[in-house]
Structure formats: C-alpha cells, structure tokens
Amino acid sequence: MATFTNRKYIFSKGIDQYFIGVKSAYSFVALFFKEAFKRPFHFREVLNQSFEVGLKSLPLITLTGFIVGVVFTKQSRPSLEDFGAASWLPSLIGIAIVRALGPLVTALICAGKVGSSIGAELGSMKVSEQIDAMEVSAINPFKYLVVTRVLATTITIPVLAMYCSCVGLYGSYVNVHAEETTSLVTFYQSAFSSISFLDIFTSVAKAIIYGFTIGIVGAYKGFNATQGTRGVGKAANQAVVLSMFLIFLEELVIVQVANWIRYF
C-alpha cells in the first residue's frame, strides 16, 4: 500500500512540475514579446549576436549544404533513370532543397551550434551570478541578453537558410554537370521552373519560425539554469534536444498548412 502511495505521489509531482514548466515557458515567451518592443533597443548587441550566429556558422552551412546537394542528387538519379525521367532531376532537386532541405538542414545545424552556445553562455552567467550583477547595475538582463539573441537568430537563420539552399543547388549542379555537362544557367532554369512563390514564402516562414525557436529555447534553458556547472551542461544539452524536437513538429505543421493552401 505504501509503495502504491509513493508511486502515486511521484506521478502527481511529475504532472505538477510539467505544468509549472509549461507556465514558466509561456511567461518567458510572453515577456520576450513585451520587452522586444520597448526602449532601449540594443541594436549594437543584436548586430554582434547576428555576427556570432551568421558569419561564424557560414563555413559549416556551406560545407553541409554542398554535400546535401551532391548526395541527394546521387541518390535520386538512379530512381529517375529507371523511369526515363532523368531530365526532371534539376526540378526535383530544386523542389526538395528549397521547400524542405535548405531550411531544415540549416535549422538543425544552428540548433546544435547556436542553441547549445546560447544555453551554455547564459547558463554560465546565471550560475556565476553575472545576471544578478546586471540587475544591480540598472541593466535589464532579459532585454540585453535574451531579446537580442532571439532577434539575432530570428533574423539571421532565414538568411542562412536561403544561402544553404543556393549552395545545395550548386552542389547538385556540380554532380549533374559531371554526368551530363549541363550549363549552370540551364540547370537553375530547370530547378526553379517548378518552384512557386508559395514555396519560397513557406521556406522563408519556416526559417523565421525555426530561428525564433532556437533562440527562445536556448535562452530559456540558459536563463533558468541551476545546479552550478552541471546545470550549464544540462541547459546546453536540453536546448539542443528540445529545439530539434520542436523544429520537427513545426516542420510537420507548416508542411500540412502549406499543402492545404496549395490545394485550395
């Protein structure tokens, strides 16, 4: 009987903690939207964080995007050749990269690199009481640390996603040119012939949502880190895992909504 009571208590406590966490996350996001439109606006810090997110992620995005384009082309060619539709390869690659792979690959890379960095940085500031020191100095730590980083990821990741799509298409062109000596202009004309404005709009919207998710999750986990240095590592790890999980959920929802719009 005592064992059953203990299990019931643990289960009830777990549910309570879950809803407390949901409320805390909701309050954190609401506070972001409240502070984002209030003065002062730390434009210089937003630019600094955009540099950290964007320029320093550029080599990894370039390499990954190029490899994705080459590999996806190599994997798709045999299937299309079986049906005698190898000429449709550029269109297939264009649709796949612009609609899905470009934003998704960029978001996953940035979730691992940027999300963990934000979580670890803010977590270390939290446990070392630097955030408390900023409050004593009459600086709003939430606005200076959280809002600037979330704005930076929301602005920069869409740019990186578009860049990744272009690099991925170029990687596909390199493979197609090696097999068929197709010109660059002809390849891009074929690739974009099947891409609509809705595809581009959906791709940019995805990247904006992904960027906001990565920034807000990393900042939330870091800003609420506890338990010293162990908590810093835990915050960084949770920022990556939760960001990726939410990105896949958002991908599912956005694709479904885009398909409904395309159908109607």
Neighbours of 66 (CB within 10 A): 18
pLDDT value of residue 45: 86
**Residue 163: band (very low, low, confident or very high) from pLDDT cuts 50, 70, 90:** very high
Question: Taking 60 as the threshold, does the pLDDT of residue 141 lie above it?
Answer: yes
Contact between 222 and 118 under an 8 Å Cβ cutoff? The reply is yes
Residue found under tokens 């606006």? 41
pLDDT in tens, 8-30: 545 455 566 766 777 877 888 88
Positive or negative CA dihedral for 135, 137, 140, 141? negative
Question: Taking 60 as the threshold, does the pLDDT of residue 4 lie above it?
Answer: no
CA distance 100 to 106: 10
CA distance 252 to 173: 28
pLDDT value of residue 208: 93
Contact between 76 and 176 under an 8 Å Cβ cutoff? The reply is no
pLDDT value of residue 10: 54
Residue found under tokens 């807000």? 216
CA distance 82 to 134: 64
Specify the pTM: 0.87
pLDDT in tens, 247-257: 999 999 988 88
Contact between 239 and 218 under an 8 Å Cβ cutoff? The reply is yes
Which residues have C-beta within 8 Å of that of residue 236, sequence separation ≥ 6? 116, 117, 119, 120, 123, 221, 222
Which residues have C-beta within 8 Å of that of residue 214, sequence separation ≥ 6? 107, 110, 111, 114, 115, 118, 153, 157, 243, 247
